[in-house]
Amino acid sequence: DGGITQSPKYLFRKEGQNVTLSCEQNLNHDAMYWYRQDPGQGLRLIYYSQIVNDFQKGDIAEGYSVSREKKESFPLTVTSAQKNPTAFYLCASTNYLGGRYSGANVLTFGAGSRLTVL
Amino acid sequence: RKEVEQDPGPFNVPEGATVAFNCTYSNSASQSFFWYRQDCRKEPKLLMSVYSSGNEDGRFTAQLNRASQYISLLIRDSKLSDSATYLCVIDSGSARQLTFGSGTQLTVLP
């Protein structure tokens, strides 16, 4: 079955450590996204990528980094510069056609990674 | 003003009740509208898209009012399994994609 796989599901980090969250999709989607969700809040965009080897900052990119070396993979690194990293991180993907998104602009999400800083 | 605003709730309703949520948006150029459902500690999943003419999927009805810049979701004959957080999602058509509301929490009580 096609889908998005995020790992690890739960992660604990000590202050000052970098951690990398994995996101892999086999949906052949061009566009991939990382969101952060805090309790009682909506999703906030961290980074997004519309094509391999290219990515753009979202609304809360500070303290995060990404890479897009393969179409299927969009890992997110939470660096020590991120002052409040405890959150639920969601990776998503969608189709991307000819410079415009397809009519039904629907995101498919991974199951999420829950990061806790100790 | 936030780009997308929802009443956070919680809405606590008995089984069989009808409940409605509204969501307002600030960008008049917004092009596409969606309702996602998110269960506790899970990822959001698409519930339904919202079309200009309004659309229905079983017990769920979604409507769009462009003049007043809001969308709505009506759930009829509520089931216990409808308990979740409902996220309003707006696509402005920019490359930054979708803007999410903070969600409305619904609990259906037996």
State the greatest distance between any 2 C-alpha atoms of chain A, in Å, as a whole number.
Answer: 44
Taking the CA atoms of chain B, what radius of gyration do you get in angstroms? Answer: 13
Rounded Cα gap, residues B45 and B109, in angstroms: 22
pLDDT of residue B97: 66
Is the Cβ pair A58, B101 closer than 8 Å?
no
A30-54 average pLDDT score: 91
What b/e sequence results for A25-45 when a residue is b if at least 16 CB atoms lie within 10 Å of its CB, and e otherwise? beeebbbbbbbbbeeeebbbb
Helices (H), B10-110: none
Is the Cβ pair B41, A111 closer than 8 Å?
no
Closest residue, chain A, to B105 (C-alpha): A40
Rounded Cα gap, residues A89 and A76, in angstroms: 9
pLDDT of residue A118: 84
Q: Which residues of A touch B102 (CB under 8 A)?
A: 40-42
| pLDDT tens profile B24-71 | 999 888 888 999 999 998 999 999 989 888 899 999 999 999 999 999
